[in-house]
Amino acid sequence: MIRAVLGVFWSHWRRNRVQLATLVLGIALATALWTGVQAINAEARAGLEAAARSAIAAEMPRLERRDGGEITVEDFVALRRAGVLVAPVLSGPFQPRPGTTLTLTGIDPLTAPAGLWPQADATADPAAASRIFLPPDVAAGPGQANHPAVPEGQAIADIGIAQRELGRDGFDALILTPPQPLGAPDPQAVLPGLVQVAAAADTDPADLTQSFRLNLTAFGALCFIVGLFIVRATVGLAMAQRRRTVGVLRALGVPLRLVGALMLAELALIAACAGLLGVVLGYLLATALMPGVSLTLDGIYGARIGSAVALRPVWWLGGLAIAVLGTLASAAGPLLRTARGPVIAAPARARPGWLPVAAGLALLALSAALAVLGGSLTAGFAAMAALLLGAAALTPSGLSLLLRAAAPLARGPVAQWTLAETRAQIPQMSLAMTALLMALSANIGVGTMVDSFRRSFSDFIDQRLAAELYVATPDGGAALSALLGDDARPLPITWADAEIAGQPSEIYAVVDDPTYREDWPLLTGAPDAWDRLYAGRATIINEQLHYRSGLGPGDMVTLPDGPAEIVGIIADYGNPLGKLLVSQPRLDRIAPGAVPARIAIRTDRPQALRDDLIAGGIPADRIALQAELKSVSLRIFERTFAVTAALNTLTLAVAGFAVLTSLLTIADSRLPRLAPLWSMGLDRRHLARLELVRVTLSAALTAMLALPVGLALCWLLLTVVNVEAFGWRLPFRADPGAWLLLMGLGCLAAVLAALWPAWRLSRISPRALSEVQSLDQ
Amino acid sequence: MNHPDRMRAAKTTPQGAAPPRALQVEHLRKSYGRADSAVPVLSDVSFTLDFGETMALTGESGSGKTTLLHLVAGLDRPDAGQIRLVGQDITGLGERGLARLRRHRLALIFQQFNLIPSLSVADNLSFHARLAGRHDPAWIAALTARLGLSGLGARLPDQISGGQRQRVAIGRAMALRPDLLLADEPTGNLDEDTAQQVIAAMTGLVAEIGCALLLVTHSERIAAQMGRRLHLSHGRVGPR
């Protein structure tokens, strides 16, 4: 009996091959987008974990030469003899083979702090000290060995080997190994030419990039949901078409449970096969996107990860599981309806009930509550999900309302029919249009956010890079000062790291120059903020510190040398740390001896001054013109959002595919509705054009509904998610041109999807149209 | 051509020449399938129908009644023979020409009503006439009243009974004032009393506007109410 029933089920797919192809492609696409994003996330996580190991050295306090030169072996020996526990480090470019360049770090495995040397026990394998350790993806030659603990782009060797390979005699720095013995002398007292460099602030890239990866996961989930709309539409139609068959089977004595179980098994099998295809597509997608993700993480957070994608069970097994579970979940409704239906099936009538409207309104209310009261990144994403799902639930009713409102505008019977038919077909098209609405909303929301960010960032760069020339000054600027004439105003950039209000922060000195008053606008603050700052008792903080510490204008903050009143807040996009601006004398008190690492120069003749400085002995690579810096900054910015743009486009493409599958699956049921028009004198091409118009109209109205949803999404991104994830709030920048373009693209995707069904209709045999009029409607 | 036009056409026919018939079918042949395995459906069918005349098309299932009706309506093309509608040979017309013909001169009524489900009863009634640019609100109002559809104008087709739907289909056809009305088992889905009312309404209106009616039916009772009868047997015109 099982075989006979399965034969009957299979005959449905044999006769409806387009439907089967649609189902398989829908599941495969949904799985591909989900697994692709998960593969990227897994790779990013693994890359960051490896990178974190390499960052240990940078996070430890170290000694460097004040003049930027090498530390000699004698210096090292002198400090060790004085009782200071130090370990030498050295790094430089290294080519394990032609065409491959790595950063070789030399470490003394016996004196280095735990965790720096790849092997846990440096004394266990004495031969290891003679090898150069390479990351797993670089082929090891003689004298080299691969080790999984070596991050991509890095190589690690004993300090002696590194000196030989790099052609150096001394060291870059000496790491102060914790804990130092009691009574150990001040190293700067032992060797006055050295300067102690504080530990880098605690900015774990894995923490910072979590928001980015959460963002990717959200996009993956959105794509998956849009893909499941395809599955839901196809399974729904297949089950509706099978209802009569199921009734006949039950009338012939097949138990209901067996019918239900076999339908489930059949769907699970299709989902597993399609899921496998999706996993392969997901791998290809991840491979294509990974270089962009790698650049993005580098661009935003400076986190270096690789661009290769490994087959990790965590995502491909997960992808298969979610393909089967997602398919069964999206098919549950139609399956239950079919299984629970009467033995002799009655034609089902789709009536938009009040439940979706009530659920939609409740979800929108939940979204608003989460946005206002949530106060966390997770709540921000939950608010976005609730907004999208609420809007999705309200889409059919919204479309119906718009079409009803437009009905009086129809002139002539054909226009009247088009509007009425579009409205009547909402139940059949609602899933596709909902998928389109979600994709368009995401595109409008994220696009507007990125555009707001781009324009704010561009303005910010214009303001912040006000000086015409920037010079790196490892010597503190002594050499530069002698070369500057009266026509150049130097603005030293000096800072010290500190923990302020529990947040890792930087305290910057600003000299009293019109540049700051004119070009560094405050987001909020007192009118005399700059005057009070220069007077030495006040500070201006960045937005990140404002949001994270809850401190604002009027509040007092404790600096290392005493309290200061916050008199203003400035934007500081792209900086993960808190920042405080104080007067130069105050920074001198906070960090005596701090010297400017860079000097900005205001001048009317930047190019000529640059030439003069080079002629005066400043290396050319230490000098940057304002235009060059702006160009580099904006290039990094564009690169940063390349992956987001790619995922946006993919989501829209999947929504277009959802429209196509919906149109293909309902194509047969359209004929009885079109045949009366044909018999009344509208030819097939005219009917095909009307079908195109109908789909375009649906897509245009969906786009109209997507606009407010997208803007609400953008608001959530700007005011909730960005603030929680990055610590800055961007001003909303409206770009109606871009919105219209996106709405047009949404319509274009729908029209492209409708072209093939319309073309098929324009060539359908007249006999099919005449015969359909004799059949049941 | 509506009723006054038809009168004018008859008056302007040259003296001695017979006025054009509503429908003239000559030596019509139609088969389905490929040439080597073609199944003949109609073989050498000829008949005429004048304005104001009603004809029942009868025959057993598979005799070719619906095929003949579809050929006359320009929904399908014959393999051979001629179909003249008010003197015009329609067999040589392209798709657009046939569509224009159906839009302006023919009206069809089907067993399944074939109303437009998304339009109201009132919109369905006027739809064909408006397509042809021949919308006459007074005539439609009269049709609505005569067909007993008053008060149903705002309803959708699936909100009225089968008999009412078929009356809407008749009203939609008659609102056009066609030259030829083709009806394919128009009472096949109705009970006998309702069927009788529908036929009475249809023949009354046909007589009033002076068009020709070709009606496919299996019912002897309905066939007997038509002016003439054409019986098809295995695709040929033959005796009952």
The confidence band for A8, taking pLDDT boundaries of 50, 70 and 90, is confident
Q: Least CB-CB distance to B118: which of A420, A683, A776?
A: A420
Percentage with pLDDT > 90 across chain A: 19
Using the predicted structure, report yes or no on whether residue A183 has a pLDDT greater than 80: no
Using the predicted structure, report yes or no on whether residue B93 has a pLDDT greater than 50: yes
DSSP-derived secondary structure for A247-312:
HHHHHTT--HHHHHHHHHHHHHHHHHHHHHHHHHHHHHHHHHHHHHHHHHHHHHH-----S-----
Average pLDDT over residues B24-29: 94
The confidence band for A425, taking pLDDT boundaries of 50, 70 and 90, is confident
Using the predicted structure, report yes or no on whether residue A131 has a pLDDT greater than 60: yes
Q: Is A509 within 8 Å of A587 (Cβ atoms)?
A: yes
pLDDT digits (tens, 9 = 90+) for A684-740: 999 999 999 999 999 999 999 999 999 999 999 888 887 877 777 778 888 899 899
Q: Which residues pair with A476 in a beta bridge?
A: none
Lowest mean pLDDT among A398-402, A496-500, A537-541: A496-500
Chain A nearest C-alpha distance from B15 (Å): 34
pLDDT of amino acid A205? 45
pLDDT of amino acid A709? 95
Q: Is B162 within 8 Å of B142 (Cβ atoms)?
A: no
Average pLDDT over residues B160-182: 92
- What value does the mean pLDDT of chain B take? 87
Using the predicted structure, report yes or no on whether residue A347 has a pLDDT greater than 60: no
pLDDT of amino acid A202? 41
Using the predicted structure, report yes or no on whether residue B8 has a pLDDT greater than 50: no
Q: Is ipTM > 0.90 here?
A: no
The confidence band for A626, taking pLDDT boundaries of 50, 70 and 90, is confident
The confidence band for A486, taking pLDDT boundaries of 50, 70 and 90, is confident
pLDDT of amino acid A51? 56
Find chain B residues with C-beta within 8 A of A672's C-beta. Answer: 114
pLDDT of amino acid A118? 74
The confidence band for B179, taking pLDDT boundaries of 50, 70 and 90, is very high
Q: Do A673 and B118 touch (CB under 8 A)?
A: yes
Q: Which residues pair with B56 in a beta bridge?
A: B215, B229
Q: For residues A153 and A51, what is the distance between their CA atoms, to the nearest angstrom?
A: 10
CA A561 to chain centre: 40
pLDDT of amino acid B42? 92
Question: Any alpha helices (H) in chain B, and if so which ranges?
Answer: 3-11, 65-72, 95-104, 121-131, 137-146, 162-175, 192-209, 220-224
Would you call A682 an interface residue with chain B, using a CB distance cutoff of 8 Å?
yes
- What value does the mean pLDDT of chain A take? 81
Using the predicted structure, report yes or no on whether residue A59 has a pLDDT greater than 60: no
Chains A, B: CB contacts under 8 A, how many? 86
Percentage with pLDDT > 70 across chain A: 86
Q: For residues A20 and A16, what is the distance between their CA atoms, to the nearest angstrom?
A: 6
pLDDT of amino acid A122? 61
Average pLDDT over residues B162-177: 92
Average pLDDT over residues B146-150: 91
Q: Which residues pair with A562 in a beta bridge?
A: A559
pLDDT of amino acid A244? 73
> The whole model's pTM is what?
0.70
pLDDT of amino acid A176? 80
Which one of A670, A773, A775, A776 would you mutate to disrupt binding with B, by most B Cβ within 10 Å of its Cβ? A773
pLDDT of amino acid B131? 86
**In chain B, how many domains are there?**
1
pLDDT digits (tens, 9 = 90+) for B64-89: 898 999 899 888 889 999 999 999 99
**CATH code of the domain in which B198 resides:** 3.40.50.300
pLDDT of amino acid A246? 77
Q: Which residues of B34-65 are buried (b: 16+ CB within 10 A; e: fewer)?
A: eeeeeebbbbebebebbbbbbbbbbbeeebbb
pLDDT digits (tens, 9 = 90+) for A589-600: 998 878 888 888
Lowest mean pLDDT among A92-106, A328-342, A448-462, A510-524: A328-342
Percentage with pLDDT > 90 across chain B: 50
pLDDT of amino acid A529? 92
Q: Is B174 within 8 Å of B143 (Cβ atoms)?
A: yes
Using the predicted structure, report yes or no on whether residue A339 has a pLDDT greater than 90: no
Would you call B114 an interface residue with chain A, using a CB distance cutoff of 8 Å?
yes
Using the predicted structure, report yes or no on whether residue A777 has a pLDDT greater than 70: no
Q: For residues A209 and A43, what is the distance between their CA atoms, to the nearest angstrom?
A: 13
Nearest CA in chain A to B111: A774
Rounded to 5°, the CA angle B100-B106-B112 comes to: 115
Average pLDDT over residues A51-78: 69
Using the predicted structure, report yes or no on whether residue A142 has a pLDDT greater than 80: yes
pLDDT of amino acid A200? 38
Contacting residues for A48 by C-beta, under 8 A, at least 6 apart? A205, A206, A209, A297, A303, A305
Binding-face residues of A in 378-417 toward B, CB within 8 A: 412-414, 416-417
Using the predicted structure, report yes or no on whether residue A537 has a pLDDT greater than 50: yes
Would you call A673 an interface residue with chain B, using a CB distance cutoff of 8 Å?
yes
Lowest mean pLDDT among A20-34, B80-94, B197-211: A20-34
Tokens of A271: 């989902």
Binding-face residues of A in 643-672 toward B, CB within 8 A: 672
